[in-house]
Structures are given as C-alpha cells and as structure tokens.
Amino acid sequence: MNVPVANESAQLLSVRNLRKEFPIRKGVLSRQVGAVKAVNDVSFDVARGETLGVVGESGCGKTTTGRTILRLIEPTSGEIRFEGRDVRSMSTSQLRKLRRDMQIIFQDPVSSLNPRMTIGAIIREGLTIHKLAEGAAADARVSRLLQEVGLRPEYANRYPHEFSGGQRQRIGIARALSVDPKFIVCDEPVSALDVSVQAQVINLLEDLQREHNLTYMFIAHDLSVVEHIADRVAVMYLGKVVELATAEDLYREPLMPYTQALLSAVPVADPKARKERIILQGDVPSPANPPSGCVFHPRCHHPSKDAACTAIVPPLEEKTPGHFAACIKQSPTTVSWEQQKNAGGVNPPERYLPLAAVHA
C-alpha cells in the first residue's frame, strides 16, 4: 500500500483506508437502495505539533473525515490510531478519556453554543465531565481561558447571543482548550467570519498552537487561509485524498489535475495579475454514484487522459519526495504503461504542469 508515512513514532494520528458510507433509504420499509461514499479509502498521518490542512469543495468529505476520526460518526471501515492506540476498538469509557485529548471546533459559531447556557457554564462543562476542576478552581480556570482567547473574564456570566461571530468562535476555542487537548479538529473555524475578524482568529489559533503544543487538523475551503496556516495539505475530491504535500510544494507545483484547477480558480486580489485559469466543465458528480476508475475523469483536463483513467483507481503515490498525488498520467507513476495499455490506455504518462508559469 502506498501511504505517506514519514517516521512512525513521530505520528500523533494515523488513518488507514478510512471509509464512511451513509445508507440511502427509500420507501415505507426504509429499504437501503444505495450508499453515499462520503469518505472513500482515505489514509494519512498527522505528526505531533503540525497542522494538516484539508481542502476541497462542498460535499467532498472533509467534515465526515474529521468527525469519524473523533468517532462522532462511526466509520464503516478502516483504521484510526491516536498515539498508537486503536481508536475504533475503544470502549465507551476509553473513548471518554480520548475526547479529552481530541477536541473539535465547529464552523458555525452560532448553532454550536447552547443559547441557554452562560459562557462560563459552556466552558466549564468539559472540566466537570473530565473531573479536571470544580468550584473556585474551575472558576479560575474559566477566567484564564477567556483571557487566553482574548475575552474579558467578566464575560463568563453572559449568554452567547450577546456576542459577535468572532467572539463566539473565541468561546468555542476556549471550550475546546479547557480540557487541555493534544489534537484539535478545526472544521472551517473562520469561514463564517468577516475578513478582518478572520485574521484575528487565525492569529489566535497559531498563538495557542505554539503555547500549548497543539496539533491541528484544519478543514477549510478557502485555499489561501490553508496555505497560511498549514504545514501540509490534503486535497479531497469525492471522498478521496487526491493530493498530499507540504503547503509550499502543493501551492508551488500542484501535480494532480484537480488541484491544479482548484488553485487556478481562486480569484487573485491583484488586478495586474493576469493569470491562467483552468475552467472545469460541469459539476462534481454525486458521491452516491462516483465515476469508475479515477473519480475526477469526467472533468479532467490532463492531455493524456484516456480509457485507462476510467478503469484504474489511481493510487495516492509519491511523485517527488514527500509529495503524493493520485494520477496515473502524471509521471512518475507506479501504474506501469503495460497495465495502462491493458486497461485501454493510449496516451503514456507525461509531466503536465499547466500552472508552472503562474506561480513562478
């Protein structure tokens, strides 16, 4: 199996062949008629202290991946190891302990906070569940947490509706931090915020990471935010990781044709930049019925695309050191030309870098 592994022991989290299928039911008997392949054979590692960015368009499986890792959603199959421990075989009480180490921050700062609880009570909840502090000690800890995320300690007695979106996101961050986690899944934590407030929250997350030695999985659809915050980036398309590399390599030289199109589509805030754009045709197909072979083939612009792409599922393979991409036409590839021809291939793999000039 081709898996982007560096040094086994440095990894905080390892995910192997993760799958999540949501059943599609129909009729009075709720008979299952199909399945949405929300996460379709995903493998990656996250090293201690790093930020793994996860990008991709709506519905590609980012949130489902993040939630299955925390077992907020039960995976259909695959392996999840956190500090070497098998997360999928954990008992309820082991899971409860694990939730101290792994936290999540949600996209929607409005609906993720209980409107009937004070800010103080929201942040204290985790302290109580995990028996970390009570009484005056808990109060002191809440005060400290509020200050850390840039809010006044007096706010502990107020309710969520009294705060702006950016402030609510800070409250969500304080809640996640309260139990002293090692790993936080940040699911679009700044997507709902205005540009100026977004920058405040990103800086806060970076400061906290340094101070608390945190490891982040940072999910977002905004590619420039991810370039800024992530050390490595995984690009998802239709439930699959199609490219995985350091942020620097990925943005400088995207190898998978989908990533190339995605990056070229981002509007550039510079009227002088005359950039090359790859306009993809059509829409993302339904994950209930993903295309055969390479899931990107109906929209792919790679000049060597051919019948082999519809038959062979491209492995996520190392194209250059530390740079993984899933494309059998982007050389080098472990899927031999012989194999490709047997699958109907007519165009040999080549190196295709339509954006090279743009980001030079």
Q: Which residues bind Mg ion (CB under 5 A)?
A: 63
User: Any contact of residue 269 with another protein (CB under 8 A)?
Assistant: yes
Nearer to ligand SF4, 257 or 287 (CB): 257
**Farthest-apart Cα atoms in the chain, separation:** 73
CA gap 37, 195 in Å, rounded: 33
Contacted entry of ligand ATP, ligand SF4, another protein, none for residue 287, CB cut-off 5 to 8 Å set by kind = ligand ATP
User: Any contact of residue 290 with ligand SF4 (CB under 6 A)?
Assistant: no
- Read off the amino acid at residue 213: N
User: Any contact of residue 324 with ligand SF4 (CB under 6 A)?
Assistant: no
User: Any contact of residue 38 with ligand ATP (CB under 6 A)?
Assistant: yes
Contacting residue, 262, 308, 309, 316, with another protein by CB under 8 A: 262
User: Any contact of residue 309 with ligand SF4 (CB under 6 A)?
Assistant: yes
Residue 176 neighbours by CB under 8 Å, 6+ apart: 103, 104, 105, 184
User: Any contact of residue 59 with ligand ATP (CB under 6 A)?
Assistant: yes
Residue 276 neighbours by CB under 8 Å, 6+ apart: 264, 354, 355, 357, 358
Nearer to another protein, 21 or 253 (CB): 253
Residue reference for tokens 């300690």: 153
Any bridge partners for residue 54, and if so which? 219, 234
Separation in Å, CA 272 to CA 58, 170, 252, 275, 296: 30, 36, 20, 9, 32
- Read off the amino acid at residue 183: F
Taking the complex as a whole, the smallest distance from the CB of residue 9 to ligand ATP amounts, in Å, to: 30
Residue reference for tokens 């998978």: 256
Q: Looking only at residues 211 through 250 of this chain, which bind another protein when binding is defined by CB under 8 A? A: 211, 221, 223-225, 227-228, 247
Contacting residue, 13, 18, 55, 60, with ligand ATP by CB under 6 A: 60
Summarize as ranges the residues that interact with ligand ATP (CB under 6 A).
22, 36, 38, 56, 58-64, 221, 287
